[in-house]
Chain A
Amino acid sequence: MKILCVGMNHRSAPLDLRQCLAFDKTQTERALALLKTRYDTAEFVILSTCNRVEIYSASPVDDQPTAADMVAELARLHHVELQMLSDETVYKLRDEEAVEHLLCVASSLDSMVVGESQIIWQTKEAFLWAIDAEATGKYLNRLFHRAFSTAKKVHAATEIGRRRTSVAGVAVELASRIFSDFRRKRVLVVGAGEMAELAITHLKADGVEDVMVVNRSGERGRSLAERFGADFCSWDRLDDCLAASDIVISSVSAGGPVLQRQQMADVHRRRRYANWMILDLGVPRNVDADVGRLSNVFLYDVDRLGQVVSDNIEQRRQEVDAARSIIADEARAYIEWFQSRDVGPLIKRLEGRLHELGDEELERLFRRLPDDVPPEQREEIRLATHRIVHKLLHGPISVLKEEARQDRAQMSIRALRRLFRLDDHLPPPDDAACVQPGDDSCGSDEGGEE
């Protein structure tokens, strides 16, 4: 069997091209049905997100689809010119590379924001759709389950997913460290512009219910509050609204601070010095920097939040090495299992290879023998050669089969593949020009690029 991954991501292809080749649920179902009809011995899963489009397949080694077939299918399914899917934009991965790639994808190492958590759900969804379409089988089922467990392991064992990488995410995390339940706190949004709207959207999405808007322009503020089901407070009651708040998000367009230190100190006294979180999203700042020195006041401006986001992204990147180590181990475990399932075809290939060698030598011998050697004798010699090959292989094959039954054939399989060069994507010994597996220019003895 071979495992293939053919696709493109945010690094290999521009957004326009990815959008042309994206699959929604209906398109995925249709595509899987079509692929199964064309290649009934193969298994397929299609993963399509805003940052990648990938088709995974498992199929017999000597059978279609090859990687080239899959690229052609991708173009055909979306009525796109095949020339648009060049080697620069579309990657073709096989076996170990494909397995490791999927594990990296599911663990979010291949994501635009390393450590993001959405990709695992997208991968699960893609797998479920493939199950519903009866497009998967033993190999991809096991592979995808391995991918999910690896992702869980990576996220548990490393910090890769823990640090927030957006300003909103960082703010929520800080709020949850300051307040025991920030969703029950009163949030005051100062301003009614785009940032204020974004802030209210995030707050509501995070479950905050008590939101109040205050703005210099009453009309805009009221309109924003109504749209989001928030309360509205007029600017002249700003101090009262501040005194009643636990979290303040300020994003007003002003030439300088609109919330001064003394004003905030007076309000803080009215609040009886309860914990106060202030997010100053204004540029230039809306809140006097000295406000952050007041006791129990946690003031974060855009620079501070941006710095935290950068630090978090950097920390996530540092976790990548640890994550890759886990992924390499898991990929190896899957490949060993995968190769141990290959005992039958492997034995067939080994026998075929040795018989081929035997037949070559027989032909050479027959050319040297006198012409008057009867055909029956030639046949006897041929049969004797075959019997020799069978006897030579009988012992090793019995051992291999027994080991496979006990699920410990991995080492023997590896040795056989290496010693007899049974991997179909390895170049023939006399082709010194090939250096890359799957290189088109190789003309491998299995007949083509995979």
Chain B
Amino acid sequence: MTILLPVHVAAMVGAILILLSGGVAGLVYLAQERSLRHGRVEGWNRRLPSIERLQRFNQRAVYGGFGLLTFGIAVGAAILFLRAESANLNWLDSRILATFSVWLLCAGLVALAARPRFRGRPVALLTIAALMLTVTIPVVAGMLWPSWHAFFGGGGAAG
């Protein structure tokens, strides 16, 4: 039990960081792609990775971030399952529900990213959107509704 919590936290933080890097790659990809469509190669273009490399990185970040997020949620669920009765914890907590909805969003993103038709620009845009939602939804949910889940300094008696 003692080990599960740090693993859960590490996995969740890791997932956010990976999605963050994917989001940054997505932003850079969008800038590069726009510039290249007009045939422009400026000084900053040359220093950035190629379109192909950015796409690949973005895609891997989506898969990796989602994988780690899934793992982190699974470990969190295990913690909850083991402690629910003794700590009187509720599965229907706002942050828990928010995190599950984020997971569903990311699952949708992964499904789209795997489809060739969505390569490139769509995946980049969705990655940026998913990153923003992953960070904001649980935080906002915890601010609007009471939550026992303590992360980012918020919440109550979990842990």
Which has the most chain B C-beta neighbours within 10 Å: A177, A178, A307? A177
Is residue A27 within 8 Å, beta carbon to beta carbon, of the partner chain? no
CA distance in complex: A176, B40 (Å): 13
Q: Which of A159, A162, A275, A307 contacts B39 (CB 8 A)?
A: A307
A298 in contact (CB, < 8 A): yes
Question: A300 at interface (Cβ–Cβ under 8 A)?
Answer: yes
Nearest A residue to B53 by beta-carbon distance? A180
Contact between B41 and A173, CB atoms less than 8 A apart: yes
Expressed in whole angstroms, the minimum distance between the Cβ of A289 and any Cβ of chain B is: 13
If A180-B49, A180-B50, A275-B55 touch, whether A174 touches B39 (CB-CB below 8 Å) is yes
Write out the residue numbers on chain B whose beta carbons fall within 8 Å of the beta carbon of A179.
50-52
Partner of A273, one of B32, B40, B52, B116: B116
B26 sits at the interface (CB 8 A):
no
Residue in B45, B116, B117 whose beta carbon sits within 8 Å of that of A177 in the complex: B45
Query: Is B119's CB within 8 Å of the partner chain A?
Result: yes
Does A304 count as interface, using CB distance less than 8 angstroms?
A: yes
The total of chain A residues at the interface (CB under 8 A) is 26
- A308 to B49, Cβ gap below 8 A? no
B: number of interface residues (CB 8 Å): 22
B interface footprint on A154-171 (CB within 8 Å = 1, 0 otherwise): 000001001110000010
Q: Is the CB of A273 within 8 A of B36?
A: no
Q: A174-B41, A180-B50 are in contact. Are A298 and B116 (CB under 8 A)?
A: no
Q: How far is the CA of A177 from the CA of B120 in the complex (A)?
A: 15
A159 → B minimal CB distance (Å): 6
The listed residue (A164, A177, A295) touching B36 by CB distance below 8 A is A177
Whether A298 and B37, one on each chain, are in contact in the complex, defined by CB atoms closer than 8 angstroms, is: yes
Question: Chain A residue with minimal CB distance to B40?
Answer: A308
**Contact status of A300 and B50, CB under 8 A, knowing A273-B120, A274-B119, A295-B122:** no
Question: Once bound together, how far apart are the Cα atoms of A159 and B53, in whole Å?
Answer: 25
Proximity bits, B31-46, A CB within 8 Å = 1, else 0: 0100011111101011
Q: How far is the CA of A295 from the CA of B145 in the complex (A)?
A: 42
- Taking a contact as CB atoms closer than 8 A, the residue among B51, B119, B121 that contacts A178 in the complex is B51
> A305 contacts the other chain (Cβ, under 8 Å)?
yes
| Complex contacts, A159 vs chain B, CB 8 Å | 43
- Given the complex, which residues of B lie within 8 Å of A201, measured CB to CB? none
Q: What's the nearest-Cβ distance from chain A to residue B146, in Å?
A: 45
Q: A274-B119, A295-B120 are in contact. Are A177 and B51 (CB under 8 A)?
A: yes
Contacts of A295 in B (CB 8 A): 117, 119-122
- B104-138 Cβ-contact flags toward A at 8 Å (1 or 0): 00000000000011011110000000000000000
Q: Is residue A292 contacting chain B, with contact meaning CB distance below 8 A?
A: yes
What's the Cα separation between A295 and B121 when bound, in Å? 8
Interfacial chain A residues near B43, Cβ < 8 Å: 159, 162
In the complex, chain A residues whose CB is within 8 Å of the CB of B32: 177
Which 9 interchain pairs have the tightest Cβ spacing?
A272-B116, A308-B39, A296-B120, A273-B116, A180-B53, A180-B52, A180-B50, A178-B51, A273-B119
